[in-house]
Amino acid sequence: MSRKEFWFSVIFGMAVLLFLGCGTSNKAVVNPAVNGGPAFDFTSRTVTLNNGIKMPILGIGTYRLTPEEDEESVYLALTDGYRLIDTANVYMNERAVGRGIQRSGVPREEIFVTTKLLPSDYENVDKAIDDTLARLNLEYIDLLLLHQSFGNYVEGYKGLEKAVADGKVRSIGVCNIYEERFDEIIKIATIPPAILQNETNPFVQQSEMREHVRPYGTILMSWFPLGGRVDNFNNTQTRLFNNETIVEIAEAHGKTPAQVILRWHLQSGNIAIPGSRSADHILENISIFDFELSAAEMQKMSALDTGILSLDFRNNIDEISNFLSPNVPMDFNAQE
């Protein structure tokens, strides 16, 4: 039996046991398994990861905000009912995220915190995690991801597995990675990635990658879920919000384009982490559990896929200059 077949059998077995061991409820609104992935529970707003841990399916992203904006964004999100927060050491806002969590008064066990390590940390994961925990002012991380598949990402992943054994991290995964390098991780993994975080939106639906990671129970988590604004010339968000199909569906439901896109993510089996500094938009983005896209509407959305990424990690990824080189460490403790 190959490693891929082994993990598939393990995940399938866990799913059967969970199904047989749990009673059904007329009150639970569970989105059936989409694209062969785990079912999203729209009542609890969670999904069960391949390690048995429940993770919220909608969260707040914190990329490209100032520390002051990040703290307020996290505080507002938790107040509005969000329970998933996504950050990274390279965002230089982990301290601000920690302050927002403390201000909210929400019990720690109700919050799911995701953060990421940059390639410069992959050969010293223990110290990087300790520093991140100190900045966040937390005792453990719910989900820790390798931010990029540069540098010694294989050694970095082994470090994540050790952190799980040490009790510092509960779940692990990868970002910005595609088939070949994902398979390299799988070959050495004793814990399969719970999450793959890649750029995903109606224009970039990641169908092939979703299918590739499905046998391991790995769930797709979407960055730039509402499209990206890399620069004035690469603004998929504006094009998505003005897309005729999306606008038409939004008007039919009395919703905004952003809400339709986020609902599409969840019904597609994607965890979504839209970010915003606006209190109104933060509330808008979580107000998507009172309507449902029809099968016909989902099909129309599926037809929007172009496969064109804002940041393409599929080819010549070692030459990408948009992100930091793994050989250039940063002083993450310099953040406010």
Of 125 and 24, the one with more pLDDT? 125
Q: pLDDT value at position 330?
A: 78
User: What number is the average pLDDT over the span 232-246?
Assistant: 87
Q: pLDDT value at position 10?
A: 38
Phi and psi dihedrals of 296, rounded to 5? -65, -40
Q: pLDDT value at position 29?
A: 54
Of 8 and 106, the one with more pLDDT? 106
In the predicted structure, residue 98 carries a pLDDT above the cut 90? yes
Phi and psi dihedrals of 324, rounded to 5? -70, 145
Q: pLDDT value at position 293?
A: 98
Give per-residue pLDDT as tens, 70-86. 999 999 999 999 999 99
Q: pLDDT value at position 28?
A: 39
Any idea which fold 3-7+32-306 has? Answer: TIM Barrel (3.20.20)
Give per-residue pLDDT as tens, 33-47. 566 678 999 999 999
Helix, strand counts (H, E) of the chain: 12, 14
Taking the C-alpha atoms of residue 61 and residue 321, their distance in angstroms, rounded to an integer, is: 23
Give per-residue pLDDT as tens, 261-290. 999 999 999 999 999 999 999 999 999 999
Chain centre to alpha carbon of residue 169: 16
Give per-residue pLDDT as tens, 12-30. 444 333 333 333 333 335 5
Residue 333's pLDDT band (boundaries 50, 70, 90)? Answer: confident
User: What number is the average pLDDT over the span 305-320?
Assistant: 74
As annotated, the active-site residues are: 91
Q: Which residues contact 8 (CB under 8 A, 6 or more apart)?
A: 215, 216
Domain boundaries, the chain: 3-7+32-306
**Overall pTM surpassing 0.85 (yes/no):** yes
In the predicted structure, residue 327 carries a pLDDT above the cut 80? no
